[in-house]
Each structure stands twice: as structure tokens, then as C-alpha cells.
Amino acid sequence: MGKTPHILIGREKIALRIAELAARIKLEYAGKNPLLLCVLKGGFVFMADLVRQLDMPVQMDFMRVSSYGGGMECSGSINVGQGPGIPLQGRDVLIVEDIVDMGFSLSVVRNFLSQMQPASLKLCALLDKPSRRKVPVCIDYLGFTVPDKFVVGYGIDFDEQYRYLPDVCFLEEL
Ligand code: 5GP
Ligand code: MG
């Protein structure tokens, strides 16, 4: 059975919101040398658009997080795969994530990274699905709050499909 993507947040709206986030980040990190740490794979398009709107020198790194059990539900068993390569000690680290849902992934990522003693550790997430939260997560820079729908596109996948879509979409069963 196929699934049809429907636009939830269009590309123009995303670009405008990222410009607002970038302006805030630029102001709050002025005079610092922030390290933007993208959680792969879902955060890669957001990260790429964000750094190009930031208009300030930043460093970038990438990390992998895997959750066991495929499909549309995150199992709650989360493992950090590839960690960041750049040492985080004393750095102002900004995590760049696609979506915070139940909150398990981000709490694992935060605990993992805070052990590396960054000077500061903040979170920038494109999407928030607060209705399903199980673990509290502080989102310092948020793009959009979304309803309890399974979203894809703009870097976000369903079984490795739909990442290429330029808009944030939701999937509907045919
Ligand atoms: P959490 O641990 O907060 O439940 O899971 C967050 C992760 O689950 C996200 O980084 C993302 O990889 C995945 N996820 C949560 N909601 C969605 C969704 O609506 N669509 C997709 N494709 N992934 C989601
Ligand atoms: Mg993610």
C-alpha cells in the first residue's frame, strides 16, 4: 500500500522561519565560535539551510543516533553511533535536530554530549511534536510545532524515502 505526501509546511515558510532562527542565533552567539552539531541523517537539510542563513563563522560536525525497531514508532532504545569528531570540551555546542517527538533521542544525545564538557549545550530543532512527549526536552531554538502526524521531507525520511521532498509533508495511507 502506498502513502501520499501532503504539504504541512511549505518551503517558503521554512526559509522565513530559518531566517528568524538564524538572526537569533547570530545575536546570541556573537563573539563566540559555535560548533553546530547535526544529528544525522534527518537534520542534514535543516543544517545546510541554517548555516547558509547564519552569516557568521561557525564550525560544523555530525553525529549518528540510531533507534532500534523501524517503522513509524521510535522504540525508546537509542544508541549513539558515530559521535562528533571535533573535541567538545570548552566549546559552545548547538545541536541541530530534525524533530523532537517523545524526547528519548534528545535526552540520550544531551547526556552523551554533556559528558564531553562543552562550555554550553543548546538545541535547535526544526520540528516539535509536544503531544507525544515522554521525556522533557528544552528546545532553545524551535522552527515549528507540528500535530501528531508522521512527517517526512526536508531531510526527514520514512524507511529512507521522501528525504528529497523540499517541503515538510505528512503521509497519508492510500
Ligand atoms: P524521539 O526520541 O523524540 O521520540 O524521536 C525523535 C526522532 O524520531 C527524530 O529525530 C526522528 O528521527 C524520529 N521521528 C519522530 N517523529 C517523526 C516523524 O513524524 N517522522 C519521521 N520521519 N521521524 C520521526
Ligand atoms: Mg532526528
pLDDT at 74 (0 to 100): 56
pLDDT in tens, 19-49: 999 999 999 999 999 999 999 999 999 999 9
Distance of CA 27 to the CA centre of its chain: 20
pLDDT in tens, 60-111: 999 999 876 555 555 568 888 888 899 999 999 999 999 999 999 999 999 9
pLDDT at 76 (0 to 100): 61
CB neighbours of 28 closer than 8 A, spacing ≥ 6? none
Among the bound ligands, the one closest to the CA of 105: 1
CA–CA gap between residue 47 and residue 8 (Å, rounded): 20
pLDDT in tens, 128-150: 999 999 999 999 999 999 999 99
pLDDT at 67 (0 to 100): 76
Q: Catalytic site residues? A: 101
CA-105 nearest atom, ligand 1: 2
pTM of the predicted protein model: 0.94
CA–CA gap between residue 68 and residue 1 (Å, rounded): 24
Burial class (CB in 10 A: 0-12, 13-18, 19+), 72: exposed
pLDDT at 79 (0 to 100): 84
Question: Do you know the residue count of the chain?
Answer: 174
**Whether 121 contacts 138, CB under 8 Å:** no
**Whether 113 contacts 62, CB under 8 Å:** no
Q: Write the residue with the smallest CA distance to atom 9 of ligand 1.
A: 99
pLDDT at 73 (0 to 100): 58
SS (H, E, C) 98-139: EEECCCHHHHHHHHHHHCCCCCEEEEEEEEECHHHCCCCCCC
Q: What element of type H or E holds 173?
A: strand 168-173
CA-134 nearest atom, ligand 1: 4
